[in-house]
């Protein structure tokens, strides 16, 4: 933690307040319960191009947060491949904030090596000790938080968090290439697949209709250069392959909320399978991105999807 005492960044005092709240609480009253850390490696992946599964249900909202409104769901940590990112340094975005308000997550930094492309980290049972306002430069510790989340038979809080690291794109167009799309789909599917085929999170013999939804958002966007509309579609495909529903938080972005909702409704209405949509992504790269010399193609991804699916429907009428 010594890096939190270095420099004059206004972020550091707020991070320290959040951590001091935790230490004050646990010294006043000894904590009970259990937290488990599971490093998961996936060796086999879906055949995305041939998948005949349809999209699962989606709820998308610009209000709320994963930690406040994702109770009972599998909550996604938009992780650095070095889990925790800059939590004990200068970082203060989604992952670092989650590690600060649930400080037991910081233990993972001691026991988790850098995540490989086919790995994720699952943390079950952590407790939230603080509330906050703002984000990044505007982050402020607000108050102590009393976590009312129930416990399971192991005395873990019913809070399941999965850390998955997105690829860091130096060039915007790189993320639309087939190999990068497969990488992100497989990274996402690493935490979404059912245990019968992969080493997922659900209990053995639990039918898909009993699996929890995924609480997620703009994974790998911002500093990592991800396109929010592509990343949303990638996560929706991975969840559908797993038979899980999705609750997607756009963190105040109303336009993004409407775009994601509209394209999901359109694809469902047209009966598009996961394989169909995956092939649309490949076509988009080949037809719009491969020969593009600018920072981005003239035709946006969702517009391409609408036009291509409609054109195919018209040609078969």
Residue positions in the annotated binding site? 80, 94, 135
- Catalytic hit among 14, 95, 160, 241: 95
SS3 of the chain: helix, strand, coil, percent, to 5: 45, 15, 40
Q: What is the C-alpha separation between 41 and 13, in angstroms, rounded?
A: 37
Task: Examine the residue annotation and report whether 146 is marked as an active-site residue of this protein.
Answer: no
Pull the structure tokens for residue 158. Answer: 């019913």
Q: Which residue has the tokens 């607000």?
A: 142
- Catalytic hit among 49, 63, 67, 77: 77
Inter-CA distances, 177 with 173, 180, 194, 274, 291, Å: 8, 5, 27, 17, 12
Question: Counting every residue, how long is the chain?
Answer: 317
Inter-CA distances, 208 with 44, 186, 211, 221, 264, Å: 20, 19, 5, 29, 20
Q: What is the C-alpha separation between 215 and 42, in angstroms, rounded?
A: 21
Task: Examine the residue annotation and report whether 6 is marked as an active-site residue of this protein.
Answer: no
215 within 8 A of 67, measured Cβ to Cβ: no
Residue positions in the annotated binding site for substrate? 80, 94, 135
Q: Where are the beta strands (DSSP E) in the chain?
A: 36-41, 58-61, 74-79, 119-124, 130-133, 140-144, 160-165, 214-216, 246-249
CA 166 to chain centre: 9
**End-to-end Cα separation, the chain, in angstroms:** 65
Specify burial of residue 81 (Cβ count, 10 A radius: 0-12, 13-18, 19+). middle
Q: What is the C-alpha separation between 213 and 56, in angstroms, rounded?
A: 10
Q: What is the C-alpha separation between 6 and 17, in angstroms, rounded?
A: 15
Task: Examine the residue annotation and report whether 77 is marked as an active-site residue of this protein.
Answer: yes
- Catalytic hit among 67, 96, 119, 165: 96
- Catalytic machinery residues: 77, 95-96
């Amino acid at each position: 933690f010594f890096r939190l005492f270095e420099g004059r960044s206004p972020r550091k005092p707020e991070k320290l307040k959040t951590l001091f709240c935790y230490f004050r609480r646990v010294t006043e009253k000894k904590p009970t319960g259990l937290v488990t850390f599971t490093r998961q490696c996936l060796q086999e992946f879906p055949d995305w191009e041939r998948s005949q599964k349809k999209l699962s249900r989606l709820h998308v909202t610009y209000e709320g947060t994963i930690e406040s409104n994702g109770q009972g769901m599998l909550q996604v940590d938009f992780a650095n491949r070095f889990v925790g990112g800059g939590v004990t340094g200068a970082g203060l975005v989604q992952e670092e904030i989650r590690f600060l308000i649930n400080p037991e997550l910081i233990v993972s930094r001691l026991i988790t090596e850098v995540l490989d492309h086919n790995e994720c980290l699952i943390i079950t049972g952590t407790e939230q000790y603080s509330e906050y306002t703002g984000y990044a430069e505007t982050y402020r510790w607000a108050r102590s938080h009393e976590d009312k989340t129930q416990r399971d038979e192991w005395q873990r809080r019913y809070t399941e968090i999965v850390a998955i690291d997105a690829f860091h794109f130096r060039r915007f167009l790189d993320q639309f290439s087939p190999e990068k799309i497969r990488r992100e789909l497989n990274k996402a599917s690493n935490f979404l697949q059912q245990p019968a085929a992969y080493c997922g999170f659900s209990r053995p013999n639990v039918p898909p209709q009993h699996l929890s939804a995924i609480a997620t958002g703009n994974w790998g966007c911002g500093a990592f250069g991800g396109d929010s509309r592509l990343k949303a579609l990638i996560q929706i495909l991975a969840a559908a392959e797993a038979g899980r529903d999705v609750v997607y938080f756009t963190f105040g972005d109303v336009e993004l909320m409407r775009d994601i909702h509209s394209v999901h409704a359109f694809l469902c209405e047209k009966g598009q399978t996961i394989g169909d949509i995956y092939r649309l992504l490949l076509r988009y790269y080949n037809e719009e991105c491969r020969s593009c010399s600018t920072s981005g193609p003239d035709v946006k991804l969702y517009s391409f999807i609408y036009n291509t699916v409609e054109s195919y429907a018209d040609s078969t009428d």
